[in-house]
Structure 1
Amino acid sequence: MKTTISKVSQHVNEEVTMGAWLSNKRSSGKIAFLQLRDGTGFIQGVVVKAEVSEEVFNLAKSLTQESSVYVSGIVVEDTRSPFGYELQVRNIELIHEAVDFPITPKEHGTEFLMDHRHLWLRSKRQHAVMKIRNEIIRASYEFFNKEDFIKIDPPILTGSAAEGTTELFHTQYFDQEAYLSQSGQLYMEAAAMAFGKVFSFGPTFRAEKSKTRRHLIEFWMIEPEMAFMEHEESLEVQEQYVSFLAQSVVNNCGLELSVLERDVEKLKSIQAPFPRITYDEAIDLLKEKGFDDIAWGEDFGAPHETAIAESFDKPVFITHYPKDIKAFYMKPDPNNENVVLCADLIAPEGYGEIIGGSQRIDDLDLMKQRYEEHNLSGDAYQWYLELRQYGSVPHAGFGLGLERTVAWFSGVEHVRETIPFPRLLNRLYP
């Protein structure tokens, strides 16, 4: 019976056949241990000389790393294995012999591994990170479908910028100027006016010359937008969503978290509600922690976010930032027009901002005023203005950065490991 590693639990004490690659091996005299992978998981194949033909045993001992094979054998339970099962090999058929696979079990430098990212993805650690990434994506669809959101796909090529053009990739769109999208948010606002509750999931681009462990040039965002929604209600959706993602990863990625040696208890504690502090309170907290040079009106950097997060045992919302350091579309606080109804969700353990969100301006005259203050082109943004002209309603939304969330849940240090083929300031290959 042909099967995959992920389904061997359905075939205990049965003989199965699977296609696999050899990730590693060791042998001692009359027994060979093959570490096999097939894309769905990893399993150990045990080849006992007395139980197979001489040809099969010699093949097992001579197999090279990443050679592809068909393997047949009996599935047995193995309590010593993190996976819980192993394969008692009966036959091996060589498909392709790999020669001099460049990534060996020894230590390699990061640049070497990034140059060979197309092969590095095969490793057990990278496999675990990608499985967690996949679970976050799957759980996102489950959450928003359950909450009656509709998925809408905004364009990647756009003639306008969500937050200004200084960090956008410019391109020529026939005879017009165009940009690679830095956010689908403006279009999601239009979709929310048509469908009520919507979300998008897609790539975004930032031409930001940053080399930190939290930044990518191309990354993926989940961006919900909700009509008839106030700021506080949006925060509740955000914390419920993040809690749902964390518990989905805990429940469905136990083996992967074990491979990564992740402290699962820290993920289990990610349960709504999350603490909230205002920007003003965050400034006071930072001064207490020795950041004497931080002044009101300045944005927070990575050291500031980390220091704030260390004061809480859960993710923390920082709300009501100064208007002048936030995007033009954010709604001012009715009680203090110097700040806006917004929030950043800061993850613990130094992973920084995971979500940025706000209530959007819904007043036509105020939005026109913002256009003038930010020198926005009436031609490029006319359609966005019309959302306030025809049936405007209170609405709010947010964007969750997928790669930072994967890094946080996985416990990996750098976001370059959280996307299959990272685009960094100095990397466009492979």
Structure 2
Amino acid sequence: MSQGYNKHNNVSLCRFLEGNKLVKTMIKDVSKYAGEEVTIGGWLANKRSSGKIAFLQLRDGSGFIQGVVVKEDVGEEVFAKAKGLTQESSLYVIGTVQKDERSPFGYELVVKDLEVIQESKDYPITPKAHGTEFLMDNRHLWLRSKRQHAVMQIRNEIIRATYEFFNENGFSKVDPPILTGSAPEGTSELFATKYFDEDAYLSQSGQLYMEAAAMALGKVFSFGPTFRAEKSKTRRHLIEFWMIEPEMAFYDFEDNLEVQEQYVSHIVQSVLKNCTLQLNTLGRDVSKLENIKAPFPRITYDDAIKFLHEKGFDDIQWGDDFGAPHETAIAESYDKPVFITHYPTGIKPFYMQPDPNRSDVVLCADLIAPEGYGEIIGGSQRIHDYDFLKQRIEEHQLDLDAYKWYLELRQYGSVPHSGFGLGLERTVAWISGVEHVRETIPFPRLLNRLYP
């Protein structure tokens, strides 16, 4: 039986609710009931009192609102309950919804009555400052804070807008497997496991399976978890993260870029429209987001190398992949995301289609977010010729048997096709203005963190 909760309390709560048969609503919907009395179930995020008035900062998962308790209006008993509330205690509150121009939310609740559901004692995350490791150890509780709530709401809006965009543009949702028998990009940064008598891996991308789906359904997208056993501690990396991976039959390289910039424009504008309060909570400079509309600028890998040399990056040579400082330097020249196109064949995966005019580069692009957030999308036109794809698999010393089914897609009605993958957490970080991706996923998996 939980602390501070018993059968008697349960009976009193039932009587409390029965005796106060008012509209039960959530904080996000209180504007519908201005001037009316409502019941809200929630938690106490914080409080302060001044003589005969108590101010309760209430949250219910949908938002935050201030509850004002005036002793003269509610009486000794209710006022004593309000003053005795502890941080994160759960309660029902009855009050009148009142407009308040001083509130970021626009409304407050003039409390008439309240009933404690469960008293929280010694809540570990107090209003004072805490270190990152402490907060990460208490991630299951840290999620309740106003800042983390805002980030999660923005994440949710990006997910909602993602489904909206692809559904409205004729895509079908397909779910690729999480357990696979091979590495889509031929890397060794995989989590291995036993699949009965076989070796299996946690998926690092659903792309190859999405190509198969595109040959069946035309335009498809997936949204699911991916795993990279990459021993990186940068602010851009997670071990487990979520990817949105569209794949499109009969789409060439240019078609692919257009879909990407339209999609990114859509999710940014959706967040601006529907998450104003959350962006304000985070102190996000929304002027930097208002300009994020298609089309996006493009720069070739060749020109990017020249640009970096002009900026003093003598360490980078043609044929090298870009690191975070290089991507940031390039992005600083633009106020929108920028495509870096036509990377060298040697540093990209085996399945990318070479430029028909230059065999040393492929028809691919990385989309680099502004403000130092790095790559958020990688995409390309895929090789659709059977013999050439087989040759590329052999050149990369990959197991032909493991890729037999993938090659068969090029045997039976092969067509030009393209696709891309967007990393959700980096995108959330950029749009919300959060510095580290660990705050953009509910329970981050980092190099040295598997708890909670």
Asked if Structure 1 and Structure 2 have the same fold, meaning a TM-score greater than 0.5 normalized by the shorter chain, the answer is yes
2:135 partner SS? helix
- For the aligned residue pairs, the C-alpha RMSD in angstroms reads 0.5
Indicate yes or no: 2:164 matched with 1:119.
no
- Structure 1 partner of 2:252: 230
Query: Where has structure 1 moved over 3 Å in runs of 4 or more?
Result: none
Q: Does structure 1 residue 13 correspond to structure 2 residue 35?
A: yes
**1:366-405 C-alpha deviation (Å, 9 max, x unpaired):** 0010111011112211000000010000000000000000
The separation in 2 between residues aligned to 1:79 and 1:39, in whole angstroms, is 22
2:359 & 2:367 partners in 1: Cα distance? 22
Residue correspondence of structure 1 range 20-419 to structure 2 within 5 A: 20-419=42-441
Corresponding residue SS for 1:305: helix
Gaps of at least 5 residues in structure 2 are: 1-22
Contact 2:384/2:415 (<8 A) preserved? yes
SS of the counterpart of 2:350? coil
Superposed displacement of residue 164, structure 1: 1.4
What SS does the corresponding residue of 1:229 show, helix, strand or coil?
A: coil
Q: Distance in 1 between matches of 2:170 and 2:259?
A: 12
TM-score, structure 2 normalization: 0.95
Verify the 8 A CA contact 2:157 2:274 in the aligned structure 1: yes
Q: Distance in 2 between matches of 1:222 and 1:391?
A: 26
How far 1:293 sits from its partner (Å)?
A: 1.9
Tell me the distance in 2 between the aligned counterparts of 1:386 and 1:313: 43
State the shift of 1:165 in Å. Answer: 3.7
Query: What secondary structure is seen at the aligned counterpart in 2 of 1:380?
Result: coil
Q: 1:216-274: CA deviations, max 9, x gaps?
A: 00000000000000001100000000000000000000000000000111111101000
The answer as to whether partners of 2:43 and 2:59 remain within 8 angstroms in 1 is: yes
The Cα offsets for residues 189-223 of structure 1, whole Å up to 9 and x where unpaired, read as: 00000000000000000000000000000000000
Aligned-residue offset at 1:53: 2.1
**Identity percentage over the alignment?**
78
CA distance in 1, matches of 2:31, 2:101: 13
Distance 1:53 1:219 in 2: 51
Partner AA of 2:277 in structure 1:
L
Deviations 1:269-315 (A, max 9, x none): 10100000000000001001110121100000000000000111111
Measure, in 2, the Cα distance between the counterparts of 1:371 and 1:124. Answer: 49
Aligned to 2:18: none
* Alignment TM-score, normalising by the size of structure 1: 1.00
